[in-house]
């Protein structure tokens, strides 16, 4: 099969980047487990160089899905993010970060990048305020959309345009949307990164990450990724390739079920607030409608004061309290205790991330089974 024969995501998920192998291998990419290769061949292959057969196949598929020229698959989302920042920025240089990013990203900035001498400004998401933060030292603008966990939406075309006009690199964490629902490179973004642990993997059995962009930018990031040793092994790359084949059907179904649950939760007396860009009263609804092909499988909601958060979680039967997200099984967590536990309590309070805030990752179970589970748990004891 020739890669990129058809550029619809359904077909790309299954065929993009796939090689032609001798008949005895059958239809699937063989799993290469070797860590030693003939050094006289060109290029010299080695798993840490991110250039094995399984790496190249998955990277080509992700590049096609996101509409980029090249991709790098890493051992985690944070591996991708670390390689991007450390590969593209020097001490003394400055980046602009969207307010309310994933807690691990904030932790990377506070715990590693700032101590190394990189500088950061926080942007409130209003495009009219973005240019005022740019200095002569600024190199990069990093956003998420939708954000984790409050599902904030950023105007992708405006961010990309401002970055381009000022010669800055625009980077987006596209984990929550996945390339099925949002392709930021089409809006002018330079780089897209993923925690591939989430929708791309999709079965809660794989830790991985990815960055997609131009050949030129990937050439600047790859040496740092190699130095950091953040490559993924052949077995997990094969697992990721297999998972990508069902990405479109999984994400569309999860997005549809999340939309329905968001409406039902919004009407429930035991829920004081629902955060979901598909709801008409969400501040980013119109933007999300314009730049996404669906609103996603993630939603957050705040329990009303009469519901004890621990008792609520204990009463759930089908929906599993768990860190991580985007598996075929529905899961739920308190971001204050998980993804955002390492950021300061005052900062969590400012963002509105308290113990009553629940982040729900909607899986592939029957919608009525999920609703029954939530309804029972939402009943005050």
Ligand X SMILES: Cc1ncc(COP(=O)(O)O)c(C=O)c1O
Please give the residue ranges that form the binding site for ligand X (CB under 6 A): 76-78, 102, 104, 144, 148, 173, 175-176, 195, 197, 207, 209, 339
- The residue among 78 and 351 lying less far from ligand X, judged by its C-beta, is 78
User: Distance of CA 62 to CAs 59, 123, 154, 180, 264, Å?
Assistant: 5, 29, 23, 11, 34
Closest alpha carbon to 300 in 252, 238, 225, 352? 352
Pairing of strands 94-98, 138-144: parallel
DSSP states along 326-354: --SS-EEE-TTTTTTTTS-HHHHHHHT--
Rounded to an integer, what distance in angstroms lies between the CA atom of residue 324 and that of residue 339? 8
In the complex, what is the shortest distance from the CB of residue 318 to ligand X, in angstroms, rounded to a whole number?
22
- The residue among 102 and 276 lying less far from ligand X, judged by its C-beta, is 102
- The residue among 79 and 259 lying less far from ligand X, judged by its C-beta, is 79
In the complex, what is the shortest distance from the CB of residue 189 to ligand X, in angstroms, rounded to a whole number?
15
In the complex, what is the shortest distance from the CB of residue 62 to ligand X, in angstroms, rounded to a whole number?
14
In the complex, what is the shortest distance from the CB of residue 78 to ligand X, in angstroms, rounded to a whole number?
4
Under a CB-based contact definition with an 8 Å cutoff, are residues 192 and 68 in contact? yes
Rounded to an integer, what distance in angstroms lies between the CA atom of residue 254 and that of residue 376? 21
Burial 8-22 (b: 16+ CB within 10 A, else e): ebeebbbbbbbeeee
In the complex, what is the shortest distance from the CB of residue 209 to ligand X, in angstroms, rounded to a whole number?
5
Rounded to an integer, what distance in angstroms lies between the CA atom of residue 323 and that of residue 103? 12
In the complex, what is the shortest distance from the CB of residue 173 to ligand X, in angstroms, rounded to a whole number?
5
In the complex, what is the shortest distance from the CB of residue 176 to ligand X, in angstroms, rounded to a whole number?
6
In the complex, what is the shortest distance from the CB of residue 198 to ligand X, in angstroms, rounded to a whole number?
6
Closest alpha carbon to 94 in 77, 109, 78? 109
- The residue among 66 and 307 lying less far from ligand X, judged by its C-beta, is 66
* Bridge partners for 142 per DSSP: 97, 171
In the complex, what is the shortest distance from the CB of residue 197 to ligand X, in angstroms, rounded to a whole number?
4
No. of helices (H) and no. of strands (E), the chain: 14, 12
The residue number with the shortest CB distance to ligand X is 77
Q: What are phi and psi of 101, to 5 degrees?
A: -75, 170
The 3-state DSSP class for residue 133 equals helix
Residue with tokens 């495009």, as numbered in its chain: 127
- The residue among 168 and 210 lying less far from ligand X, judged by its C-beta, is 210
- The residue among 71 and 378 lying less far from ligand X, judged by its C-beta, is 71
- The residue among 12 and 105 lying less far from ligand X, judged by its C-beta, is 105
Q: C-alpha 190: how far from its chain's center?
A: 16
- The residue among 104 and 234 lying less far from ligand X, judged by its C-beta, is 104
Q: C-alpha 271: how far from its chain's center?
A: 26
- The residue among 170 and 307 lying less far from ligand X, judged by its C-beta, is 170
Whether omega for the bond prior to residue 146 falls within 30 degrees of 0, making it cis, is yes
- The residue among 84 and 89 lying less far from ligand X, judged by its C-beta, is 84
> What is the torsion angle, in degrees rounded to the nearest 10, for the CA atoms of residue 311, residue 366, residue 102 and residue 204?
100
Instruction: Please give the DSSP secondary-structure letter assigned to residue 131.
Output: G
In the complex, what is the shortest distance from the CB of residue 103 to ligand X, in angstroms, rounded to a whole number?
8
């Amino acid at each position: 099969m020739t890669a990129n024969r058809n550029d619809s995501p359904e077909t790309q998920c299954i065929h993009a980047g796939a090689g032609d192998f001798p008949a005895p291998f059958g239809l699937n990419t063989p799993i290469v487990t070797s860590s030693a290769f003939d050094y006289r061949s060109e290029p010299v292959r080695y798993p840490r160089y991110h250039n094995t057969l399984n790496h190249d196949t998955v990277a080509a598929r992700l590049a096609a899905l996101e509409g980029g020229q090249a991709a790098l698959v890493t051992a985690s989302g944070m591996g991708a993010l670390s390689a991007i920042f450390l590969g593209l920025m020097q001490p003394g240089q400055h980046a602009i970060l969207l307010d309310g990013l994933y807690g691990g990203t904030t932790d990377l900035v506070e715990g590693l990048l700032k101590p190394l001498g990189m500088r950061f400004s926080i942007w409130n998401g209003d495009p009219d305020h973005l240019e005022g933060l740019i200095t002569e030292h600024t190199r990069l603008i990093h956003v998420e959309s939708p954000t984790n966990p409050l599902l904030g939406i950023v105007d992708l075309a405006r961010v990309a345009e401002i970055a381009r006009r000022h010669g800055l690199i625009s980077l987006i964490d596209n984990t929550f949307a996945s390339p099925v629902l949002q392709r930021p490179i089409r809006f002018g973004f330079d780089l897209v990164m993923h925690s591939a642990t989430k929708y791309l993997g999709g079965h809660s059995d794989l830790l991985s990450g990815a960055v997609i962009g131009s050949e030129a930018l990937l050439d600047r990031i790859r040496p740092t990724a190699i130095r950091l040793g953040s490559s993924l092994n052949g077995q997990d790359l094969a697992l990721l390739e297999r998972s990508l084949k069902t990405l479109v059907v999984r994400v569309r179904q999860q997005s549809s079920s999340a939309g329905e649950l968001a409406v039902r939760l919004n009407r429930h007396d035991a829920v004081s607030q629902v955060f979901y860009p598909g709801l008409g009263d969400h501040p980013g609804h119109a933007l999300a409608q314009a730049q996404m092909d669906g609103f996603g499988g993630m939603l957050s909601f705040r329990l009303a004061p009469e519901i004890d958060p621990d008792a609520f979680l204990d009463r759930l039967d089908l929906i599993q309290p768990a860190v991580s997200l985007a598996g075929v099984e529905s899961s739920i967590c308190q971001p204050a205790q998980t993804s955002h536990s390492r950021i300061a309590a005052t900062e969590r309070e400012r963002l509105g991330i308290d113990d009553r805030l629940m982040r729900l990752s909607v899986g592939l179970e029957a919608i009525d089974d999920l609703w029954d589970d939530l309804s029972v748990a939402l009943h005050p004891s």
